[in-house]
């Protein structure tokens, strides 16, 4: 198999060559203002562009040229204008559109050197110097044609930078650009002469690896890349940690067209991220089956609410041996696939913007059901990130309570720490408004995500819920005991209650009561109940409590 072609023309030219071009090749942005020379050499003052394209070429008919510019598209036929434009020997202009740039060639004759320079600009990323998506598509198609005619293989790798966005958001876009440049160099440092890296867009890179030994060679290269990105980047003296997740596909076994190979490596990349990021995964046919299942669920999810496929179960909450309420848990019974776990469909609903509508339905159902319980019982309802960030949340909740007639103090809204990642004024106002309405607010899954004690100081909470992760081995693990004990004491000092989730054994319950945990929830108390079983459960609970 042939080696992947090197760049047709390097951006950095010798000074003599560059100086022969700079008086003929000028660059302007989309507003036709001059930009820095992209050839890598400083422009002397004598040939530096004027304040604008129009001042540089005053002979041109502005209206006619603007109209002609609108027809220019990337890599399409250039706009050629003949005439004398004030430079000795200059008999015309040739104008190319390359992305958001206009390259203007002023010469007596369009020469191969200038054509090669413009071709390089059209096929390479100006930030990192790597070949761009256009060059990648051409190389991939050419290699596939060769592979289909022989017995050799090659591999395609898609790379995404992990945690790139936080760097861009916190340190600024200039730091983000610098990080992309450093990442490109780090990728290239891992490659052999038979490999080639590309930047497709944003923090998306690809690598085509040819030569013998695939797919094993690609797996080894991917592990080298993952290891290389475990080392910090230094940007303006700041150490930044950004890893990479990689998806691998191999031709022709995983695909015989560019689309098939890209889809295979994309599925492998998705799996790498789902498995925890900072790792490489190779495509397997089961990944395609899982994708098809996800797409089936996504399509079905859009009809589930209208077709009444959702329902709510209620898990009892115990306090000092007495039932004090229930947590409403959303369930989905698919007509063909049966019960779908919430962990499978709720992220889909959030991603597709359906959770506010679904959440409003759950809230109303739970409040109506709570009206049938004893007046001292509360109902706890989970509030997703998507719902919390939707405008008008507090008005909708208030309207639902008025519609149903449930006193606000009987409703407890559960939010996770991910809701609080951005300590915006709107977030604080929303929580304070809910608090003023008289609702109870619970911080769910405390300690498992982005825990920060500042949340407890900044936001008004009535309850902290300790995740079952810390409860499972509570009877034997000293670290879990220390964490739970500290959370209970901290909450009480802040005038908050504590609920322990996932309580399954009498030993766990006894230990939690010994340290002052207020409420218990889990299979020891009861599994989630269908609506039909609640009345009987309450009757048994009240009988048991009266005899205690």
> What does the alpha-carbon distance between residue 39 and residue 518 come to, in Å, rounded to a whole number?
70
Contacts 24+ apart (CB under 8 A), 79-85: 83/59, 84/59, 85/57, 85/59
With CA atoms as reference, report the closest residue to 490 among 454, 519, 526, 524: 454
pLDDT score at 169: 78
Give the residue-averaged pLDDT of 32-60: 63
166: which 2 tokens? Answer: 């936080």
Question: What's the confidence (pLDDT) of residue 87?
Answer: 52
Q: Which residue has the tokens 């599994």?
A: 527
For residue 118, give Cα distances in angstroms to 27, 54, 69, 300, 516: 11, 22, 18, 49, 73
Q: Is the pLDDT of residue 262 over 80?
A: yes
Rounded Cα–Cα distance for residues 278 and 231 (Å) = 12
Under the phi-then-psi rule, with left for phi > 0, alpha for psi from -120 to 50, and beta for the rest, what region is 477? beta
Average pLDDT over residues 340-359: 88
User: pLDDT tens, 148-158?
Assistant: 777 788 999 99
Rounded Cα distance between 330 and 384, Å, is 12
Q: Looking at the chain, how many residues does it have? A: 548
First vs last C-alpha separation in the chain: 82
443-452 per-position pLDDT tens digit: 887 766 555 5
Strand 497-500 to 195-201 pairing: unpaired
In the three-class reduction of DSSP (H, G, I as helix; E, B as strand; rest coil), residue 290 is classed as helix
DSSP state of 231: S
Residue 548 CA to chain centroid, in angstroms? 52
- 69-73, 345-349, 501-505 — which one is most confidently predicted on average? 501-505
**Average pLDDT value over all residues in the chain:** 83
Q: What is the pLDDT of residues 121-131, one digit of tens each?
A: 778 888 888 99
| DSSP label at residue 337 | T
Question: Tell me: the pLDDT tens digits for 366-407?
Answer: 999 999 999 999 999 999 888 888 888 899 999 999 999 999
Burial of 449 (0-12, 13-18, 19+ CB in 10 A): middle
Q: Which residues contact 88 (CB under 8 A, 6 or more apart)?
A: none
Q: Is 487 exposed, middle or buried (0-12, 13-18, 19+ CB in 10 A)?
A: buried
Q: For the chain, how big is the Rg over CA atoms in Å? A: 32
**Strand partners for 208:** 156, 196
Q: What is the pLDDT of residues 323-346, one digit of tens each?
A: 999 999 999 999 888 898 898 888
According to DSSP, the residues that pair with 416 across neighbouring strands are 444
CB neighbour list of residue 447: distance below 8 Å, 6 or more residues apart: 466, 467, 469, 470, 483, 487
pLDDT of 22 > 90? The answer is no
Strand partners, 206: 158, 198
pLDDT at residue 88 is higher than 70? no
pLDDT category, 8, cuts 50, 70, 90? Answer: very low
Cβ 90 vs Cβ 84: under 8 Å? yes
Output phi, psi for 452, to 5 deg. -145, 130
Q: Please tell me the distance from the alpha carbon of residue 74 to that of residue 30, in angstroms, as a whole number.
A: 12
Give the integer Cα–Cα distance in Å for 143 and 145: 5
128 Ramachandran zone, left/alpha/beta (phi>0; psi -120 to 50): alpha
- The pLDDT of 37-56, averaged and rounded, is 56
Q: What is the pLDDT of residues 189-227, one digit of tens each?
A: 999 888 999 999 889 999 999 988 888 999 999 999 999
Closest of 172, 250, 244 to residue 209, by C-alpha: 250
The reported pLDDT for the residue numbered 12 is 32
Indicate the DSSP class of residue 539.
H
Which run of H or of E encompasses 161? strand 154-161
Residue among 148, 152, 122 at smallest CA distance from 135? 122
Strands 322-334 and 378-382: parallel
Least confident range of 13-27, 310-324, 518-532: 13-27
Which two three-digit tokens encode residue 259?
Answer: 């689309």
């Amino acid at each position: 198999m042939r080696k992947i072609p090197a760049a047709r023309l390097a951006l950095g030219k010798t000074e003599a060559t560059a100086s022969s071009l700079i008086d003929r090749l000028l660059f302007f942005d989309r507003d036709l203002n001059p930009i820095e020379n992209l050839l890598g050499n400083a422009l002397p003052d004598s040939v530096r562009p004027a304040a604008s394209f129009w001042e540089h070429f005053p002979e041109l008919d502005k209206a006619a040229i603007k109209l002609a510019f609108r027809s220019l598209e990337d890599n399409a036929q250039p706009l050629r204008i003949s005439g004398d434009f004030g430079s000795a020997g200059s008999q015309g202009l040739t104008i190319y559109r390359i992305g958001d740039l206009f390259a203007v060639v002023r010469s007596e004759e369009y020469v191969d050197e200038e054509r090669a320079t413009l071709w390089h600009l059209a096929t390479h990323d100006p930030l990192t110097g790597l070949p761009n998506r256009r060059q990648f598509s051409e190389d991939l198609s050419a290699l596939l044609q060769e592979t289909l005619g022989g017995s050799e293989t090659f591999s395609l790798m898609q790379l995404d930078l992990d945690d790139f966005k936080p760097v861009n958001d916190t340190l600024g876009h200039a730091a983000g650009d610098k990080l992309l440049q450093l990442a490109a160099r780090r990728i290239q440092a891992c490659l052999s002469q038979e490999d080639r890296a590309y930047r497709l867009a944003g923090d998306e890179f690809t690598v085509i690896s040819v030569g013998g030994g695939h797919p094993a060679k690609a797996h080894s290269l991917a592990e080298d890349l993952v290891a290389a990105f475990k080392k910090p980047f230094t940007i303006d003296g700041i150490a930044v940690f950004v890893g990479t997740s990689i998806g691998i596909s191999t031709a022709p076994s995983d695909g015989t067209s560019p689309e098939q190979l890209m889809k295979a490596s994309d599925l492998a990349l998705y799996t790498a991220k789902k498995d925890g990021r900072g790792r490489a995964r190779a495509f397997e046919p089961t990944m395609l089956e899982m994708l098809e299942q996800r797409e089936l669920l996504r399509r079905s999810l859009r009809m589930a609410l209208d077709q009444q496929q959702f329902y709510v179960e209620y898990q009892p909450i115990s306090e000092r041996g007495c039932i004090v309420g229930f947590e409403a848990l959303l369930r989905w019974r698919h007509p063909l696939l049966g019960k779908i776990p919430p962990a499978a469909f709720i992220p889909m609903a959030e991603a597709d913007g359906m959770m506010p509508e679904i959440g409003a339905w759950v809230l109303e159902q739970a409040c109506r059901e709570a009206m049938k319980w004893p007046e001292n019982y509360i109902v706890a309802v989970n509030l997703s990130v998507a719902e919390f960030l939707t405008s008008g949340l507090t008005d909708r909740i208030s309207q639902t309570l008025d519609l149903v007639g449930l006193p606000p103090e009987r409703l407890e809204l559960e939010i996770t720490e991910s809701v609080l990642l951005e300590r915006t004024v709107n977030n604080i106002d929303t929580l304070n408004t809910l608090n003023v309405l008289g609702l109870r607010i619970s911080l769910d899954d405390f300690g498992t995500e982005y825990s920060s004690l500042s949340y407890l100081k900044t936001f008004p909470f009535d309850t902290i819920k300790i995740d079952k992760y810390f409860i499972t081995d509570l009877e034997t693990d000293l670290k879990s005991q220390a964490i739970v004990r500290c959370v209970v004491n901290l909450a009480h000092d802040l005038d908050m209650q504590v609920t322990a989730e996932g309580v399954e054994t009498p030993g766990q319950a006894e230990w939690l009561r010994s340290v002052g945990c207020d409420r218990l929830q889990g299979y020891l108390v009861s599994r989630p109940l269908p609506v039909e079983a609640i009345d009987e459960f309450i009757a048994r609970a009240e009988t048991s409590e009266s005899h205690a």
